[in-house]
C-alpha cells in the first residue's frame, strides 16, 4: 500500500515533443506528490510538486496532472529539449511522516 508505481521505465521523445510519465498510488493518506529530476552523477532535485486539492499545476514547460479518484498523477514535459534528458522520479508523502515513497524512475532521452 506504500508503493508508488511508475511507468514507463524508459522513454525516447523527439525534440519539441511531449514527454508523459505516469504514476499510481494506493495509499489515500498521501497528501503531497513531488517529482524529482536526476542527471547522471547528481542527486535528485525537486522539480515540481502538487497537493491533491488541485488537479493540475504548471511550472514553465512542466505540468503535473492529478486524478484523485483514480489515484494517479502524471508529469508532462512540453516542448521537450535534449537538456531534459534525465531520470525522473515521482514520489508521495503524507503529513506527519518523514518517509517519502519514490517510484522506480523513468529514464527520458530527448533526441534532436
Partner 1 sequence: ETGVTQTPRHLVMGMTNKKSLKCEQHLGHNAMYWYKQSAKKPLELMFVYNFKEQTENNSVPSRFSPECPNSSHLFLHLHTLQPEDSALYLCASSQAGGPYEQYFGPGTRLTVT
CB of 84 to partner 1, least distance (A): 19
Nearer to partner 1, 41 or 112 (CB): 41
What are φ and ψ of residue 100, in 5° steps?
A: -115, 125
Q: Does 21 bind partner 1 (CB under 8 A)?
A: no
The cell numbers describing 6, all together, are 511508475
Query: Does the protein bind partner 1 through residue 83 (CB under 8 A)?
Result: no
Contact 30, 71 (CB under 8 A): no
Q: What is the DSSP annotation of 73-106?
A: EEEEESS--GGG-EEEEEEEE-TT---EEE---E
Which of 1, 69, 83, 95 contacts partner 1 by CB under 8 A?
95
List the interface residues with partner 1, window 22-81 (CB under 8 A): 32, 34, 36, 41-46, 49
Instruction: Give the binding-site size for partner 1 (rule: CB under 8 A).
Output: 24
Cβ pair 63, 79 in contact under 8 A: no
Interface residues with partner 1 (CB under 8 A) are: 4, 9, 32, 34, 36, 41-46, 49, 89, 93, 95, 97-105
Amino acid at each position: 500500500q506504500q508503493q508508488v508505481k511508475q511507468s514507463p521505465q524508459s522513454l525516447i521523445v523527439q525534440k519539441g515533443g511531449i514527454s508523459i510519465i505516469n504514476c499510481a498510488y494506493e495509499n489515500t493518506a498521501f497528501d503531497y506528490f513531488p517529482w524529482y529530476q536526476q542527471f547522471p552523477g547528481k542527486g535528485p532535485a525537486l522539480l515540481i510538486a502538487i497537493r491533491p486539492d488541485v488537479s493540475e499545476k504548471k511550472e514553465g514547460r512542466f505540468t503535473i496532472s492529478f486524478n484523485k479518484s483514480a489515484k494517479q498523477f502524471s508529469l508532462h514535459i512540453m516542448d521537450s529539449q535534449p537538456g531534459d534528458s534525465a531520470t525522473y522520479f515521482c514520489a508521495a508523502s503524507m503529513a506527519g511522516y518523514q518517509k517519502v515513497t519514490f517510484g522506480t524512475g523513468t529514464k527520458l532521452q530527448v533526441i534532436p
